[in-house]
Amino acid sequence: LSGHSAGDLLPRGSVEVTREFLSTLVTLLLNYVEMENDRSTRVLEFRHPKQLEQIVDIDVPDEEEPANLYQLILDCQQALQYQVRSGHPRFFNQISTGLDIVSLAGEFLTATTNSNMFTYEVSPVFVLIEKAVLSKMRELIGWPTGDGIFAPGGSLSTLYAVHLARHRKFPTVKTKGMTSLSKRPVIFTSAHCHYSIPTAAAVLGMGTESVVEIAVDGRGRMSVTELEKEILACLERDDVPLMVNATAATTVLGAFDPIPQIADLCEKYDIWLHVDAAWGGGVLCSSKYRTLAQGIERANSVTWNPHKMMGAHLQCSAVLTREPNQLFSCNNMSADYLFQQDKHYNVEYDTGDKAIQCGRRNDVFKLWLMWRAKGTLGFERHVNNLFELRDYLVSQLKQFDDFEMVLEEPECTNVCFWYVPPSCATLSGNRRYERMGRITAVIKARMMDRGNLMVGYQPLDDKPNFFRMIISNHASTKEDIDFMLEEIVRIGREL
């Protein structure tokens, strides 16, 4: 490879060099996957930004003096060395983790076809696959018909939903804009919702103040009494209650808002109900845990990220609607150059006019391939397994004095806790929590430097920094949970 440059690859170069280059790369990648799954490999080799800029050569060159293909392989190797191994069984830092091999195979194929999802004309198979997968997802929600589209992430899926809610109530905003409204539309969501709700409000020109945060109960679930109070206050102010966002598994505590009661209020006051199941959507695959999202079929729209609990690669997120045609009515701009109505096939299969994107990546093939590989029941097993690990972690936390749980009975597979240093044993009240909060960030910093483990942390309301363990990685086992707890204690005691 060192005697060849990119010009020797297809289309101008040879098949043989192309094969050798890609095979060498794939061997490197397979070694990475093997190492990532080996617990003696570190999760990361942390370097501060300024250090890393010195170590890795990231120069973007001008010279035509091109790198030879071997040098490109070395470039890849270098990127892999300092990249965080987010598929490592001890990477618990994020909601989207893990490396599913079937999903990976799907991504390889997706990259090879480099398709654009906007028309049936150029993506016939993938458009049909998207249709079939969306239909299965709706079936799991409990909808006989409806619509949907894959969007680049849950935040944008939810933006679609808020946009739909506005379009239903104020269809003229599409042409005349919000300045034509005399009343202010309002979104209700729990105080613990994901920040994509205020983001959507800001982008859509509704403003973050149009988002009314509803207080949560002791377990992080939206208070229905408070919700009704706020709806009435909104009507009182002569504002328009537009949408309630119920979160099905909040980002930090993993709480499921009480959808049936919220749906009752939405019906009573004619409000669009969106369920943000970006994180918790996966429970719909499990007959054991789907009751957590009970009532979801009463929603008008749902955000569901298979790239979270179901383990598909980032990006894989869908927005689904109970009614058909809404996406089209809201988003179509009838671009002549793409969506000609005189095409020789049934143009209802073109998806582009439902989207706020034009070019759209194929995010669905990998998920379909996973579904083919294991069926809904395989996803059920996968989800149940994550909950079992959650139960194990909770039982361990309760057993040892080194920890204090933020929530004794988490609903989802988020488990939030503090490490309690020996020096806190005699403290109580605020001083105790302050110290525990301070030590959380310190432990995290050490954890990053040691590189054996990654767990996230954050404050919430009046609670100072605590660890948020997310059990979402199908590679993790009870031993990894044990290791995590031991490592935190080890670091904590050394401080």
Q: Exposure string (b/e) for 352-388, b if CB count within 10 Å is 16 or more?
A: bbbbeeeebebbbbbbbbbbeeeeeeebbebbbbbbe
453: tokens are: 């483990």
**Whole-number Å distance between alpha carbons of 363 and 149:** 10
* Complex with a copy of itself: residue 262 or 417, whichever CB lies closer: 417
Site for a copy of itself in 205-224 (CB under 8 A): 205-210
Stretch that binds ligand PLP, among 100-108, 247-255, 292-300, 401-409 (CB under 6 A): 247-255
The least CB distance from residue 263 to a copy of itself, in Å, is 26
Q: Is 317 in the site for ligand PLP (CB under 6 A)?
A: yes
Among 189, 286, 305, 413, binds ligand PLP (CB under 6 A): 305
Site for a copy of itself in 130-159 (CB under 8 A): 132-133, 135-136, 152-156, 159
Site for a copy of itself in 221-280 (CB under 8 A): 251-252
The least CB distance from residue 376 to a copy of itself, in Å, is 4
Q: Is 324 in the site for ligand PLP (CB under 6 A)?
A: no
Among a copy of itself, ligand PLP, none, the one that 224 touches (CB under a kind-dependent 5 to 8 A) is none
**Whole-number Å distance between alpha carbons of 97 and 305:** 12
Among 140, 149, 244, 278, binds ligand PLP (CB under 6 A): 278
The least CB distance from residue 353 to ligand PLP, in Å, is 13
* Complex with a copy of itself: residue 184 or 219, whichever CB lies closer: 184
Residue of minimal Cβ distance to ligand PLP: 154
| Cβ-based neighbours of 264, under 8 Å, separated by 6 or more | none
Between the CA atoms of 44, 50, 52 and 55, what dihedral angle is there, to the nearest 10 degrees? -150
Pairing of strands 91-92, 240-247: unpaired
- Contact map string, positions 325 to 364, toward ligand PLP, x by CB under 6 A: --------------------------------xxx-----
Q: Is 166 in the site for a copy of itself (CB under 8 A)?
A: yes
Q: What is the DSSP letter of 246?
A: E
Q: Is the dihedral of CA 218, 220, 221, 222 positive or negative?
A: positive
Among 124, 171, 260, 422, binds a copy of itself (CB under 8 A): 124
Stretch that binds a copy of itself, among 99-107, 257-265, 392-400, 402-410 (CB under 8 A): 99-107
Site for a copy of itself in 61-90 (CB under 8 A): 61-67, 71-72, 75-76, 78-80, 82-84, 86-87, 89
DSSP string, 137-169: HHHHHT-SS-EEEEESSHHHHHHHHHHHHHHHH
The least CB distance from residue 345 to a copy of itself, in Å, is 5
What's the order of all strands across the beta sheet hosting 185-190? 147-151, 317-321, 301-304, 272-277, 240-247, 185-190, 211-214
**Whole-number Å distance between alpha carbons of 426 and 143:** 55
Site size toward ligand PLP (CB under 6 A) is 17
Q: Is 196 in the site for ligand PLP (CB under 6 A)?
A: yes
* Complex with ligand PLP: residue 278 or 389, whichever CB lies closer: 278
DSSP string, 277-295: ETTGGGGGG-TTTGGGGTT
Name the CA radius of gyration of the chain, rounded: 25
Among 143, 188, 371, 417, binds a copy of itself (CB under 8 A): 371
Cα distance from N-terminal residue to C-terminal residue, the chain: 49
Stretch that binds a copy of itself, among 109-117, 224-232, 390-398, 419-427 (CB under 8 A): 109-117
**Whole-number Å distance between alpha carbons of 93 and 447:** 11
Site for a copy of itself in 407-466 (CB under 8 A): 441, 444-445, 448, 454, 456-460, 465
Q: Which of 156, 157, 186 is nearest to 169 (CA)?
A: 186
Among 377, 388, 423, 495, binds a copy of itself (CB under 8 A): 377
Q: What is the DSSP letter of 85?
A: -
Q: Is 11 in the site for a copy of itself (CB under 8 A)?
A: yes
| Contact of 420 with 467, CB cutoff 8 Å | no
Site for ligand PLP in 89-108 (CB under 6 A): 95
Stretch that binds ligand PLP, among 10-18, 150-158, 394-402, 433-441 (CB under 6 A): 150-158
Q: Which of 393, 436, 397, 443 is nearest to 418 (CA)?
A: 436
Q: Which of 166, 133, 203 is nearest to 301 (CA)?
A: 166
The least CB distance from residue 116 to ligand PLP, in Å, is 8
Q: Residue numbers of the site for ligand PLP (CB under 6 A)?
A: 95, 153-155, 194, 196, 247, 250-251, 276, 278-279, 305, 317, 357-359
